Structure 1
């Protein structure tokens, strides 16, 4: 039996650090969303501060076709207000919150398993 690692066709987060994230070799210095769905590309998420978040910021995530959304809340763990999650709750989509570094690692694991997952990564300016 020949063993080979599974190769994922989804986007992969290769590296991250304070103020930047690298997805498939491209470095980003703004908040972004990354999806494991076929044909997806990293998209700018127009959020620059945790305190400025609102339900409208989560609406595109609810419409993404994902079964799970991971929210990377920045350099430290901060939970979103329940009202912000209304679009996700209305569609029965699960949300996990963690700091951005943990969200990057968790996304890669779930995407490599073939899960329909979107990660929203907050990089505060």
Structure 2
């Protein structure tokens, strides 16, 4: 009977109305609903462990560069020896020996394509080198954006743009032995 009286008294006081003040504790508290909740090291480790496995390449996703070496490139299982030009439908040998051989004539291959490419990624070997300003001006006049990078970064940039289904082409010169990726 004493328990019943205490319960009625408690319910009677609660039914008189809610007093909302900073001193009144909330009815339900949760660390997940509180603004003061901060992620601890264990929470952060949980979110950093993410893996992705590509089981099947999407159709029409474009060519992907799987590896490079001083001898050439592995593009979708095809071994290409020496400098190469990756165009949206094809892989071609590119007749340049170094970045100094990249001229207006050697770029004709890239600006005569249909459909017109959006971005041309140039891999200049082991280091990013300066390209002749006449070549860059020609490509700009044709509406083609140019990215000049060392070959390892150019391969990664090409793969990224290709995976986004952008119309991208690449002119790649194999890197020296020190940056080989197999």
**Bigger Rg, structure 1 or 2:** 2
Matched residue SS, 1:42:
strand
Equivalent of 2:152 in 101, 106, 109: 101
- Normalising by structure 1, what TM-score? 0.84
Deviating beyond 4 angstroms after TM superposition, the runs of 4 or more aligned structure 1 residues are: none
Equivalent of 1:84 in 117, 123, 135: 135
Q: Displacement, 1:122?
A: 1.5
Structure 2 regions of 5+ residues with no counterpart? 1-52, 177-182
More helix by share: 2
- Give the aligned partner of residue 30 of structure 1: 82
| Aligned residues: CA RMSD | 2.1
- Give the aligned partner of residue 98 of structure 2: 49
More strand by share: 1
Quick one: higher RCO (CA 8 Å, sep 6+), 1 or 2? 1
1:21-56 residue CA offsets vs partner (Å, 9 max, x unmatched): 101101112111113x3xx12011111122222111
- Normalising by structure 2, what TM-score? 0.60
| Residues 1:25 and 1:105: Cα distance change in structure 2 (over 3 Å) | same
Structure 1 regions of 5+ residues with no counterpart? none
